[in-house]
Structure 1
Amino acid sequence: MKLDPFYLIVDSAAWIERLVPLGVRLVQLRIKNLDEDGLRAEIRKAKALCARHHCQLVVNDHWRLAIEEGCDFVHLGQEDLQTANLLELQAAGIRLGLSTHDHAELETAMAAGPAYVALGPIYPTILKKMKWAPQGLERIRAWKGRVAPIPLIAIGGLNPERLDGVFEAGADSAAVVTDVTLNPDPEARTREWIEKTEQWR
Structure 2
Amino acid sequence: MRLDPFYLIVDSAAWIERLAPLGVRLVQLRIKTLDEAGLRAEIRKAKALCARHHCQLIVNDHWRLAIEEGCDFAHLGQEDLQTADLAQMRAAGIRLGLSTHDHADLETAMVANPDYVALGPVYPTILKKMKWAPQGLERISEWKRRVAPIPLVAIGGLNPKRLDGVFAAGADSAAVVTDITLNGDPEARTREWIEKTGQWR
- Same fold by TM-score, threshold 0.5 exceeded? yes
- Partner Cα distance (1:158, 1:125) in 2: 8
How do residues 7-46 of structure 1 correspond to structure 2 at under 5 angstroms? 7-46=7-46
C-alpha distance after superposition, 1:136-191 (max 9, x if no partner): 00000000000000000000000000000000000000000000000000000000
Q: How far does residue 123 in structure 1 lie from its aligned partner after superposition?
A: 0.2
Give, as a single letter, the amino acid of the residue that structure 2 aligns with 1:108: T
- The answer for the alignment partner of 2:47 in structure 1 is 47
- The answer for the alignment partner of 1:63 in structure 2 is 63
State the identity %.
88
- Partner Cα distance (2:62, 2:23) in 1: 25
- The answer for the alignment partner of 1:134 in structure 2 is 134
- The answer for the alignment partner of 1:184 in structure 2 is 184
CA RMSD of aligned residues (A): 0.2
Question: How many residues of Structure 1 are paired with residues of Structure 2 in the alignment?
Answer: 201
- Partner Cα distance (1:65, 1:143) in 2: 30
- The answer for the alignment partner of 2:100 in structure 1 is 100
- The answer for the alignment partner of 1:145 in structure 2 is 145
Taking structure 1 as the reference length, what is the TM-score of the superposition? 1.00
- Partner Cα distance (1:132, 1:35) in 2: 29
- The answer for the alignment partner of 1:120 in structure 2 is 120
- Partner Cα distance (1:111, 1:93) in 2: 18
Taking structure 2 as the reference length, what is the TM-score of the superposition? 1.00
Secondary structure of 1:125 counterpart? coil
| 2:175 is the alignment partner of 1:155 | no
Q: How far does residue 108 in structure 1 lie from its aligned partner after superposition?
A: 0.4
Q: How far does residue 104 in structure 1 lie from its aligned partner after superposition?
A: 0.5
